[in-house]
A and B are shown apart, each in its own frame.
Chain A
Amino acid sequence: MTDHQHSQGPPPKAHSVIPGLIKGLAMTARTLARPTHTAEYPDVEPQLPPRTRGVIALLEENCTSCMLCSRECPDWCIYIDSHKETLPATTEGGRERQRNVLDRFAIDFSLCMYCGICIEVCPFDALHWSPEFEYAEFDILDLIHEKERLGQWMATVPPPPALDPNSAEPQEIAAANKPVRTAPTGSV
């Protein structure tokens, strides 16, 4: 209805352009007087927030080669090779144990889309976000980073952000602080 009226009526009157022009001039003059927002990156290190998704770091000791990250990866950019090793029994007559040994863990950062699903899905906290981002290469094939390189990035992983005030205790601490459950005494 209103549209119809608009199309019937005369074209809207042109307002005076002068105030707008002056406003534009004032805006640019004010911006000229203020300091700029430019971050001079190569000269000045950028201040990145702690949860920046720069690169994925690997804590090799935590990895059990369970392949969950590799299977969840939407791009299939994680390569894992492992083999089983048999550990001799620690006690006399005990059972031999088997464990996975990680041979290769590589992430192809030319495929990775930085979704972070691998990090979310890892049950053992072996993968972490690091804010490090300066790992450009001249050849795309050089973007496949093996576990040694991924491990080096662990040093750049920031500590987890502090909890909010009055928040619940983290699970680990709550579990550790729980009083030891004693065997029930008295009647059943």
Chain B
Amino acid sequence: MNPVLEVVLRLVIVLLAFVVMSLVVGQTEHKVMAHMQGRLGPMYAGGYHGWAQLVADAVKFVQKEDVTPRDADRWVFKLAPAIALAPYLVAFSVIPLSKTMVAADLSAGVLFVLAATAVGILGVLMAGWSSANKYSLLGGMRAAAQLLSYELPMVLSAASVALAAGTLSLTGIVSAWHPLWLLWQLPGAFVFLIAAVAELKRTPFDMPVAEPEIVMGPLTEYSGLRFAFFMLSEYAGIVVMSLLFTVLFLGGWQGPFSDSLGAVWTLTKSAIISVVIIWLRVSWPRVREDQLQRLAWLVLVPVALAQLALTAVWVVLSSR
């Protein structure tokens, strides 16, 4: 096949899968959250149980006026939603769904994904800084502090898996995965999941957008399509983080009939993780800013370091 055509085709497929999966997660959040609160959630849009609610929301957001505050730093303000969303798209494109189903198989996939998702911080920080609004600024600062704190345990626990597999390639990690990993990488998995939820700025770690305190944090001044982009980036973040968790800790496509059903296994496992992330949001209250930092530095980082040490010892002993 013509290489240019192939690249374009892959890009289109990745973009479609990215948007569709994000919307599916968003719709799942609507429905799961509603039923967990004894409600029904959207029931009208699209006819069957409101399946098209997010499409309808998008249509509404497109129609709304795109307001830029007079004192805002215009270019930064307008660019921020894209900066928040694009890294997840980039990260998404290198996560393998099955042994062969991967848009771009990198030899240092873990590093690339973690680096790409970390850029997302920049979008939120830009939004908070450029809005010319004190609540936005507070939210942006909180987001930056939170994301920097939780980046460390996340990287450490991912490093533990990479160490155990002996490779930084995501496909390599899944190939080296063994069901026993569920047991001896469990602390690391917990740390990664908690850090992932914090990275996504979702309850219980949604200090940056805490409505009762700082309106909507960095998103306060946004409206219309740009606001929708931030919302989409939240759902896209859940998709990317669940896929990443699945690939790193749950063995990705490994399972019965993994040769033919590989992608189904990956998607099923990450769907479960997505629902867990939604479940946490419905069940738990928001933690305070100091509790948030305390959890990161006094619990997650030591646990991640211990996990890393354990993995290192294991790898050295088993390689003899």
Contacts and interface: CB of A to CB of B under 8 A. Distances in A.
Are A and B subunits of one complex?
A: yes
Interface of A: 21, 24-25, 27-29, 31-32, 34, 36-38, 40
Specify which of B39, B279, B283 lies most central, judged by the most chain A CB atoms within 10 Å of its CB: B283
Contacts of A29: 36, 279
B76 interface: no
Contacts of A38: 38-40
Contacts of A31: 35-38
Sorting the interface of chain B by its residue count into under 10, 10 to 19, 20 to 34 or 35 or more gives 10 to 19
24 contacts: A21-B284, A24-B284, A25-B279, A25-B284, A27-B283, A28-B36, A28-B37, A29-B36, A29-B279, A31-B36, A31-B37, A31-B38, A32-B32, A32-B36, A34-B38, A36-B35, A36-B38, A36-B39, A37-B39, A38-B38, A38-B39, A38-B40, A40-B40, A40-B43
A25 B35 CA distance: 13
Contacts of A37: 38-39
B282 interface: yes
A24 B283 contact: yes
B283 A28 contact: yes
Given A24-B283, A27-B283, A29-B279, A36 B32 contact: no
Contacts of B279: 25, 28-29
A40 B42 CA distance: 11
A22 B314 CA distance: 32
Interface in B36-86: 36-40, 43
Given A25-B279, A25-B284, 12 more contacts: A21-B284, A24-B283, A28-B279, A28-B282, A28-B283, A29-B279, A31-B35, A31-B36, A32-B35, A32-B36, A37-B39, A38-B39
A37 B43 CA distance: 14
A42 to B, nearest CB: 10
Contacts of B40: 36, 38, 40
Contacts of B34: 36
Nearest to B282: A28
A58 B282 CA distance: 49
A34 B38 CA distance: 8
A27 B36 CA distance: 8
Contacts of A28: 36-37, 279, 282-283
A32 B284 CA distance: 15
B31 to A, nearest CB: 10
Specify which of A28, A36, A37, A38 lies most central, judged by the most chain B CB atoms within 10 Å of its CB: A28
A31 B41 CA distance: 14
Nearest to B36: A28
A188 to B, nearest CB: 76
A92 to B, nearest CB: 72
Contacts of B280: 25
Contacts of B38: 31, 34, 36-38
Interface string B14-35: 0000000000000000001011
Contacts of B282: 28
Interface in B238-274: none
Nearest to B34: A36
A31 B283 CA distance: 11
CB-CB nearest 9 A-B residue pairs? A24-B283, A28-B36, A38-B40, A28-B283, A32-B36, A25-B283, A28-B282, A32-B35, A37-B38
A154 B284 CA distance: 50
Specify which of A32, A34, A36, A37 lies most central, judged by the most chain B CB atoms within 10 Å of its CB: A32
Nearest to B278: A28
A21 B281 CA distance: 11
Nearest to B204: A21
Contacts of A36: 34-35, 38-40
Specify which of B36, B40, B280 lies most central, judged by the most chain A CB atoms within 10 Å of its CB: B36
A176 B35 CA distance: 57
B36 to A, nearest CB: 4
Interface string B280-308: 10111000000000000000000000000
A40 B40 CA distance: 9
Contacts of B39: 36-38
A32 B37 CA distance: 7
Nearest to B276: A25
B44 to A, nearest CB: 10
Interface string B94-105: 000000000000
B194 to A, nearest CB: 11
A29 B37 CA distance: 10
A27 B282 CA distance: 10
Contacts of B283: 21, 24-25, 27-28
Nearest to A23: B283
A37 B41 CA distance: 12
